[in-house]
Amino acid sequence: MQTIIDRLLHFEPIQYIFGHTLWCGLDLKVTPATLIPRPETAELVERVNTAYSIQTDHAAIRVLDIGTGSGCIAIALKKKHPDWLVSGIDISEEAIGVAKENAQRNEVEVDFRKMDIFSDKCGAFAPFDIVVSNPPYITESEKNSMRPNVLAFEPHTALFVPDTDPLLFYRRIASLHLGMHLFMEINEAYPSELQVLMTETGYEDTHITNDMYGKPRIIEGRMA
């Protein structure tokens, strides 16, 4: 018990101390190689579920989760829609290992693969009906306002983007055109810029959804 208290006093997230977290009805393993799933990301999953609550086409829907981390988004969607064909990719081999364990832990089949969207030939992996992503979107200059439990323990590669290019991951994901319907969690500071980016890369019917705090948090659009 004292060891746990000492770790908490050093701001280590309790989810890492116990090695798992409960999120969206799932019991998920988390390690310092993966982000701890947030409530806002649960809202991203719910937005996809709402958009596809009524399916007139009985063909299996193909889904890709980019930057899957712990696999939380992919696994939650597969759990809700067992007939969907769900895949998840991440640049981190360690994260993919955790995601695979989480799929087994929650008794779903998800195709997890190590892949770098900036260098690997992701086009061979397409097409998908739905592409969903919670990419890195916190700018380096925002670090000063963040809690020490996040800064000291969660993986920076999954959190931060350069101040000089805050839309780096969004631009790449949108330009790959891997799926017909794209959903992404976003930085609340750039909703207008992201709508322009989506339109310029060939998406229409773009829409912003606010999170539980009233902040713009999800963008979606369909390929024209």
Q: Given pLDDT bands bounded at 50, 70 and 90, which one contains residue 57?
A: low
Per-domain boundaries in the chain: 2-223
Per-residue pLDDT at 34 exceeds 60: yes
pLDDT in tens, 114-167: 999 998 777 777 789 999 999 999 888 887 777 766 666 677 777 788 889 999
Q: Out of 52-66, 86-100, 185-199, pick the least confident.
A: 52-66
Question: Model-level pTM?
Answer: 0.92
- pLDDT for 42 equals 98
Q: Would you say domain 2-223 falls under CATH 3.40.50.150?
A: yes
Q: Is residue 175 within 8 Å of 209, Cβ to Cβ?
A: no
Nearest to residue 194, comparing CAs of 213, 173, 223, 177? 173
